[in-house]
Amino acid sequence: MSLHQRFALTPVINAAGTFTPLGVSRSSLAIREASAQALGEFLMVEELQQRASAAIAGWSGAEAGAVVHCVAGAITMAVAAAIAGEDAASIARLPDAGERPSRVVLPAGHAVDYGHPIVQDIRLAGGVPVLAGDDDACSIDQLEQALAGDDVACLLLVSSRLVRGAVVDLSAAVAAAHRRGVPAFIDGAAQDMRLPALLGTGADLVLASGQKYLASPTAGLVAGNTQWVRALRAQERGIGRAMKPTKEAIVGLLAAIDERRGLDAAQWASEQARKTADFVERCAGLPGILAESRPDPSGMPISRAHLRVTPAVAGTDATRLAAALADGSPSIRVMAHRLADEEIVLELVPLEPAEIEAIITRLEALLARRG
Ligand SMILES: *Cc1c(COP(=O)(O)O)cnc(C)c1O
């Protein structure tokens, strides 16, 4: 009996990307089996962490690595590390930072909301978020000004399609933090395929989700230099207790990294591009729809299908069309961030051919049925 039958769950076709409320990603059989095996065993979690550190380092080129429960937890623990370091008394007192430097600087456009506001991850560690620049832009000069003073704990940067305004040069931002003697951390939650590039900015820690494109169980993967990985792990005896990784997540993540290292990245990227191109071609005949393939704006090697809706011809608008897709069975979920601009965006990466076929059939039915 399927999970959907057993628990009376709505069947879903997820074209909305690595979206947490829909189950984020699909793990391969090898990853699922690795996690299932871990659930039946006693083992030394510290040894698992050491194996994970070596695997993350070997894969990403970082000096060291660690696993925490998720990226939200990793952000909080990285900020805690910047505030409390490895001092046991300070670690035990957080989120009360006492007299220790606690301002956490981030470009205003990087104060994203990925289901909750990222500045809350900072506050949970006792950090005080300080936004530099505004939503349109943050210059390196503005960043330097915000980083001035001896009460700054760290610089936090986000690399994702959620950021707003002009692109901030991450390498220049990291260099500015280092000129001030402050560590720089990058939230690259859905950027696991760009980990080496993000580490190349000189960032002290880069944080990525195991459960997004890496498709492991839920895990926050930390890659960076030995000193800051150690300081982050020291928080396990403090507020990090609530953010600990499970044994099955670490083992699943190790399997996912193995799988990723065996992946032919160029071939994978061209398969994804072909999948999107085929879908776009199939949408060409839909009334009132202009379909095109567009690359991920943050540089991940994937493209998405953008369906531009002309309401007068389609007989519906993008918002109503997305709602109709979601209301059917199975529920078809698309990305909603461009609906106000009359655009439906679909990410096809984890979908089977039959699911893509079902999306096309539903679109044909919905657009033909108009008045
Ligand atoms: C998904 C996401 C997160 C949160 O990752 P979790 O592992 O779910 O905690 C943080 N930042 C960004 C930019 C994200 O996209």
Give nearest CA residue, ligand 1 atom 1.
Answer: 189
**170 touches ligand 1 (CB under 6 Å):** no
Give nearest CA residue, ligand 1 atom 11.
Answer: 189
Q: What are the backbone dihedrals phi and psi of residue 158, each rounded to the nearest 5 degrees, phi first?
A: -120, 130
- Would you state the pLDDT for residue 370? 53
The rounded Å distance from CA 220 to ligand 1 centre is: 9
Over range 49-61, report the average pLDDT. 98
How many Å apart are CA 301 and CA 296, to the nearest integer? Answer: 7
The rounded Å distance from CA 313 to ligand 1 centre is: 38
pLDDT in tens, 261-294: 999 999 999 999 999 999 999 999 999 999 999 9
**114 touches ligand 1 (CB under 6 Å):** yes
Residue 237 reports pLDDT greater than 50:
yes
The rounded Å distance from CA 251 to ligand 1 centre is: 20
Average pLDDT over the chain reads: 97
Q: How confident is the model at residue 371 (pLDDT cuts 50, 70, 90)?
A: very low
Radius of gyration over every alpha carbon of the chain, rounded to an integer in angstroms: 22
For residue 95, is the peptide bond before it cis, meaning its omega torsion is within 30 degrees of 0? yes
**112 touches ligand 1 (CB under 6 Å):** yes
Give the position, in ligand 1's atom list, of the atom nearest the Cα of 74: 9
- Would you state the pLDDT for residue 369? 63
pLDDT in tens, 130-187: 999 999 999 999 999 999 999 999 999 999 999 999 999 999 999 999 999 999 999 9
pTM of the model: 0.96
- Would you state the pLDDT for residue 368? 85
The rounded Å distance from CA 111 to ligand 1 centre is: 12
**191 touches ligand 1 (CB under 6 Å):** no
Give the position, in ligand 1's atom list, of the atom nearest the Cα of 20: 8
For residue 330, is the peptide bond before it cis, meaning its omega torsion is within 30 degrees of 0? yes
């530099």: which residue's tokens?
132
The rounded Å distance from CA 114 to ligand 1 centre is: 6
**19 touches ligand 1 (CB under 6 Å):** no
**298 touches ligand 1 (CB under 6 Å):** no
The rounded Å distance from CA 33 to ligand 1 centre is: 25
pLDDT in tens, 3-42: 999 999 999 999 999 999 999 999 999 999 999 999 999 9
- Would you state the pLDDT for residue 58? 97
pLDDT in tens, 96-135: 999 999 999 999 999 999 999 999 999 999 999 999 999 9
Crossing angle of helices 45-60 and 247-261, rounded to 10°? 20
Domains of the chain: 29-261 (3.40.640.10), 264-370 (3.90.1150.180)
